[in-house]
Homo-oligomer: A and B are copies of this chain.
Amino acid sequence: MEKTIKIGILGLGTVGTGVVKILKKNQEDIAKKVGAKIEVTKALVRSLDKERVLPKEMLTTNASDILDDPEIDIVVELMGGENPSRDYMVRALSNGKHLVTANKDVIAKYGKELFDIAEKNNLDVMFEASVGGGIPIIHPLKDCLIGNKIEEIMGIINGTTNYMLTKMTRENVDYQTVLAEAQAKGYAEADPTADVGGLDAARKIAILASIAYNSRITVDDVYVEGITKISPEDIANARELGYVIKLLGIAKEDPENGVEVRVHPTFIPNSHPIASVNDVFNAIFVTGDAVGNTMFYGRGAGELPTASAVIGDIMEVTRNIQHDVKARVLCTCYENKKICPIEESQSAFYVRLLVKDEPGVFAKIAGLLSEENISLNSVIQKRKVNNCAEIVFVTYTVKNAAIREALAKIEALPVVTEISNVIRVHEANE
């Protein structure tokens, strides 16, 4: 007789509902593919009153009904957030249940704790859905690309901000307008801080960097800038210079300074494949010493795309149970690498500033840049704003510390009214 693998789901929100729907819709094929029936037996919800995708008798408001049920093989955590998700996951693993989760917050912060319990108890922990929604990226990094030394990961890994930046680029609207619209459409939350501030992307790049560099990197190791300061002027200047602005999570390794992990808006040359990833789509651009450039593209969020990744993980755990494979790939962090301080990190920079409209101003600025050995790639003298002139320049690659030093001196010049924005630039030849 065919075996039945029993699933308990923690959280029946958007993703949980999607998981139940797809497991039901494709149940026949799923059973054939893994040689076992996959059955959701119970789901934890906050309230029993709402109409759900599962009948009432399968719902519970008591986590113990799932975590302590000896019948359940796999616990699927889809509540999000740190609390009480983290405790529930620890309890599930301690009780001998395999774990599938989409929870980037917990994986990025407490991943090690979970892997350790899983290893001790010979269990699987799968989290493909925690980064890039439905896009396969965790497995390709852990399996297919594992022979490579990863040179760089560069990802559009937050759909909300990509939607907003795409809209700002196409329609020339300002940040506040596009945020309000994204909120109205449900693409941005009522409190959008984690998305627009870059924290969501920081959690995801911490997870990817940990896998790529085999060293535990938590969200606290990530340098973060959000998109709240991007203005229509910056977007227009980027266009004029042949770039688009994207919020990127970037991880790379410097043999001297350690692993560099950051999230910030970035000027990307139009010709780069990641530049045409628009709307809510995500893409992760991975460069390996053997494979060269690769890119993984798809929907980074949403009911069914995220469910796709969760179900892939459930089916993989099921195959492992069927083949009696235990804890085959768990924590891959066998190194303890140092984190490169942001001051040591190098980039090209776009700078937009307002100066008094009088002769010799640019010469003074150029002089200060030159003192820090900063060379200019391009300069545009722009519009007049309230009797001031707007100057835009793009530097060649410099150390963060040098540009900071130079900008402090420039800001102190009496002829400089304000430094309006500073954005990192991905050079076309990088």
Contacts and interface: CB of A to CB of B under 8 A. Distances in A.
Interface of A: 18, 22-23, 25-26, 29-30, 32-33, 128, 134-136, 139-140, 143-149, 214, 273, 276-277, 288-299, 302, 304-305, 307-309, 311-312, 314-316, 319-320, 323, 325-326, 328-329, 332, 334
A298 B29 CA distance: 30
A23 B277 CA distance: 34
Nearest to A22: B290
A289 B41 CA distance: 24
A298 B307 contact: no
A2 B113 CA distance: 26
B144 A33 contact: no
Given A144-B309, A289-B26, A136 B294 contact: yes
Total identical chains = 2
A367 to B, nearest CB: 42
B298 A293 contact: yes
A353 to B, nearest CB: 34
Contacts of A326: 323
Contact of A147 (B30, B296, B302): B30
Nearest to A326: B323
A146 B136 CA distance: 11
A311 B147 CA distance: 6
A146 B312 contact: yes
Contacts of A144: 128, 136, 139-140, 308-309, 312
15 contacts: A18-B290, A22-B147, A26-B147, A29-B149, A33-B214, A134-B288, A134-B290, A135-B291, A139-B140, A290-B311, A291-B298, A293-B299, A294-B296, A295-B295, A319-B329
Nearest to A274: B297
B273 A297 contact: yes
A143 B22 CA distance: 16
Given A294-B297, A298-B291, A309-B144, A26 B276 contact: no
A288 B309 CA distance: 11
A25 B328 contact: no
Given A312-B144, A323-B326, A328-B323, A32 B214 contact: yes
A136 B136 contact: yes
B140 A136 contact: yes
A141 to B, nearest CB: 9
B291 A134 contact: yes
B299 A291 contact: yes
Contacts of A325: 323, 325, 328
Nearest to A148: B308
A299 B33 CA distance: 30
- Point out which of A29, A146, A305, A334 has the most chain B C-beta atoms below 10 A from its C-beta: A146
Contacts of A23: 147
Nearest to A293: B298
A148 B128 CA distance: 15
Contacts of A276: 273, 276
Given A147-B30, A214-B32, A326-B323, A288 B308 contact: yes
A302 B290 CA distance: 10
- Point out which of A144, A276, A311 has the most chain B C-beta atoms below 10 A from its C-beta: A144
